[in-house]
Amino acid sequence: MLLLPDKNSTTDQQKILLLEQEIALLEAELLVIENAVNAFRAQLQAALSVQIRRIQELTSIYKDQKQAKKQKRLEQKKRGKNYQKPLGLKLNNASFTGVNLVSAEKKQELKRLYKEAVVQIHPDKLVDADDELNRCATDITAQLNAYYKSGNLDELNRLHEHIISGNALSYKPDQPETITDLPAMMLFLQEKKRKLEVLLQEIKSSEIYNLWLSRKDVSVLIEELKLQFSGRILIMEKRIK
C-alpha cells in the first residue's frame, strides 16, 4: 500500500521554510541599518561633543539650583514668613542643609545611572556571548565602576546614555532549543520574526535613524545641529543666571 505524505505536515514545512527566509531577510536588514546608524551616531557625537558636554553641565547646574531653591523655601516655611538669616560669621547647621541635600541628590543620581547601565552591560548578563563581547562588557563595566566610585557624574551620564541608547540596536539572535514537532517550531519562528520586526520598528522610528535617512551632507547637518545646540545652550545659560 502506497503511503501518501501528510498534507498538513507538508504545509507546515513550507510555512517554516518561508518563515526562515523572512527571518534571514529581517536579520540582514537589521544588521545593515544598525551598523550604518551606529557609525553615523558616533560621527555626530564626536563632532558635537563640546555642545553635548555643555548642555549636560547646564542641565546639572539647573537641577542643583532648582533643588536649592526648593530647600530654601521649605526652610523659610519652617521658620516662619518673616524669618531672616542672621548676619555675620555665625552660621547654624541649618545653613548647610541645602548643600547636603544637593550632595545627596547627586549621590542618588549616580546610583540610578550606574544601576540602569550596569544591568544592561554586565558580563554576567552575557553568559552565552563570545569572548570578544564579554571582554568588551568587562571593560565597560570597569569604566562604570570607576566613574561611580569617583563620583564623576558627567562621565557616568555620558557612558550611561551611550549604553542605553544602543540597546535597541544591539540585536542578539535567539538560540533555538531542540524542537521536534513542527507546530512548536513554527511558534518559535513566528515569535522570533515578531521580535525582529519590533526592533526594526524601534530603530526606524528613532530620530537618529531619520537623520541618517535624510541623506544630508554630514558636514551641513553638523553645522545645522551646532546652531540648534548653540541656541539651546543660550536659553539654558539665561535660565541658570
pLDDT (tens digit, 9 = 90+) per residue, 106-161? 888 888 888 888 887 766 665 555 666 677 777 778 777 878 887 888 878 877 77
Same domain, 130 and 195: yes
pLDDT for position 166 = 59
| Rounded Cα–Cα distance for residues 197 and 203 (Å) | 10
Question: Hey, CA dihedral for 27, 32, 216, 40, is it positive or negative?
Answer: positive
Same domain, 105 and 201: yes
Q: Domain of 53?
A: 47-76
| Rounded Cα–Cα distance for residues 189 and 60 (Å) | 46
Same domain, 199 and 119: yes
Give, rounded to a whole angstrom, the gap between the first and last alpha carbons of the chain. 93
Same domain, 127 and 192: yes
Flag whether pLDDT at 31 surpasses 80: yes
In a domain, 136, yes or no: yes
Percent of the chain with pLDDT over 70: 73
Same domain, 147 and 197: yes
Give 190's Cβ-side CA count (13 Å radius): 8
Same domain, 155 and 192: yes
Cβ-based neighbours of 218, under 8 Å, separated by 6 or more: 40, 43
Same domain, 67 and 133: no
In a domain, 230, yes or no: no
For the stretch 42-80, pLDDT in tens is 888 899 999 989 998 999 999 888 888 888 888 877 776
Same domain, 111 and 200: yes
Identify which of 11-15, 62-66, 86-90 has the greatest average pLDDT: 62-66
| Rounded Cα–Cα distance for residues 81 and 28 (Å) | 67
User: Considering only 1-5, 160-164, 234-238, which range has the smallest mean pLDDT?
Assistant: 1-5
If phi > 0 it is left, if psi is from -120 to 50 it is alpha, else beta; for residue 86 that is beta
Same domain, 63 and 139: no
| Rounded Cα–Cα distance for residues 113 and 108 (Å) | 9
DSSP state of 125: G
The total domain count for the chain is 2
Judge contact between 78 and 94, C-beta under 8 A.
Answer: no
Same domain, 197 and 126: yes
pTM score over 0.85: no
Flag whether pLDDT at 183 surpasses 90: no
In a domain, 32, yes or no: no
In a domain, 68, yes or no: yes
Q: Which alpha helices (DSSP H) does 48-181 contain, by range?
A: 49-79, 97-121, 131-150, 153-165
Flag whether pLDDT at 89 surpasses 70: no
The residue with greater pLDDT, 94 or 132, is: 132
In a domain, 159, yes or no: yes
